[in-house]
A = this chain, B = another copy of it.
């Protein structure tokens, strides 16, 4: 930043915004300057220094961030983000508590909920195994998963890790740890995505689609 042209509190906000994923320095500075708008018109220069009406969006965002930190916790059963413990999904007796879907992140759980087809419960791992990034089995909630299975109420575990090399590796690792538990372990189907084009499908996707071809 050019010395003098940008005050320190603006620079600080730009730098903090830049720490968010997908937000580069240009976007960060656009966001910061956007939040500086919408203030009351300053007084004429001959009068007292302009007083500012607080930019409401900046304050509301600060408030929403504080609320997030203060009100959310992890569900003690499935480790989804929640405000009550157990979370509304775990507390829902209408759901099938014998069917457990293992996902990497809360956003993956959300994607499955959006289908409105899944009526079991979840287990959020908090990521996928990635020795390259230093994420090992003890960093994920695998022990907690085994404790849940040890209670004997679960008849099927669906491994719904991402279709990436880390996700596949995590699923293979989990299968190794769970196969002696007597619980049925399944994996989400692989193949061509809806709306996809065969011409542009990558080789791995096509291979998986061939392998999982079905009788008509």
Taking beta carbons and an 8 Å cutoff, which residues of A are in contact with B?
1-10, 12-13, 16-17, 19-23, 27, 29-36, 39, 41-46, 49-52, 54-55, 57-74, 76-77, 79-85, 87-89, 92, 105-107, 109-110, 113-114, 139, 141, 143-144, 147-148
Contact = CB atoms under 8 A, between A and B. Distances in A.
Given A31-B20, A65-B58, A89 B4 contact: yes
A62 B73 contact: no
Contacts of A72: 7, 9-10, 36, 52
Given A2-B113, A13-B67, A68-B9, A44 B83 contact: no
Given A5-B109, A9-B68, A49-B85, 8 more contacts: A5-B88, A9-B70, A13-B67, A20-B34, A29-B107, A42-B141, A52-B73, A62-B69
B50 A106 contact: no
B30 A22 contact: yes
B20 A65 contact: no
Contacts of A7: 71-72, 81-84, 87
A113 B112 CA distance: 50
B65 A35 contact: yes
Contact of A147 (B21, B27, B45, B68): B45
B9 A106 contact: no
A105 B33 contact: yes
Q: Which of A13, A27, A88, A89 has the most CB of B within 10 A?
A: A13
